[in-house]
Amino acid sequence: MAQRSRVSLVTYETSCTCTTKERFDFVDITERIQHAVAGSGVRDGRATVFSPTDDCSLLLNERESGLLEDVRGALDRVSKGGLMDPPSTIGAKSVVLPVVDGRLRLGTWQRLLLFELDSSRERSVRVQVIGE
């Protein structure tokens, strides 16, 4: 009969902050989240990043200036004249990222971006890392 080894999971929680500069600002928080993963001691598992407010979203995408400008321009046109608030459905409230060998496992050009939908301010996201 094969014996099962017991694996104890670690759960680590912290928050990461950044300051947005303007409405429709993108802030790359990838390195902040990686720092949280490194501080967790988790080698293999997952990191969940959660934005607790409706006027700030998370996007996992390439940080390509043309793409970001296109998104800003489209939202600016939609919300021009105060006829419509920018939709909080752009992006996500949370993302789950794999952690392998103590590092976030992302695609070659992927970055985690915080997207400001309101006005400049300090923003905070919650990070929970679970694994072994």
Q: Which domains does the chain have, with CATH numbers?
A: 30-131 (2.60.120.460)
> How many other CB atoms are there within 10 angstroms of residue 103's CB atom?
12
Tokens (6 digits) for 129: 């890392």
> Could you tell me if 105 and 99 are in contact, meaning their C-beta atoms sit under 8 angstroms apart?
yes
**Measured at the alpha carbon of residue 111, what is the angle toward residues 43 and 46, in degrees to the nearest 5?**
25
- What pLDDT score does 65 carry? 83
* pTM (2 d.p.): 0.87
- What pLDDT score does 80 carry? 75
> Could you tell me if 58 and 112 are in contact, meaning their C-beta atoms sit under 8 angstroms apart?
yes
Three-state secondary structure of 43-66: CCEEEEEECCCCCEEEEEEECCHH
- Chunked into runs of 10 residues, the chain (132 residues) has average pLDDT values of 76 97 94 98 98 92 86 80 65 95 96 93 97 97
* Sequence-ordered list of residues with C-beta below 8 angstroms from that of 59, at least 6 positions apart, any chain: 26, 90, 91, 92, 112, 113, 115
- What pLDDT score does 90 carry? 78
Tokens (6 digits) for 62: 């390439």
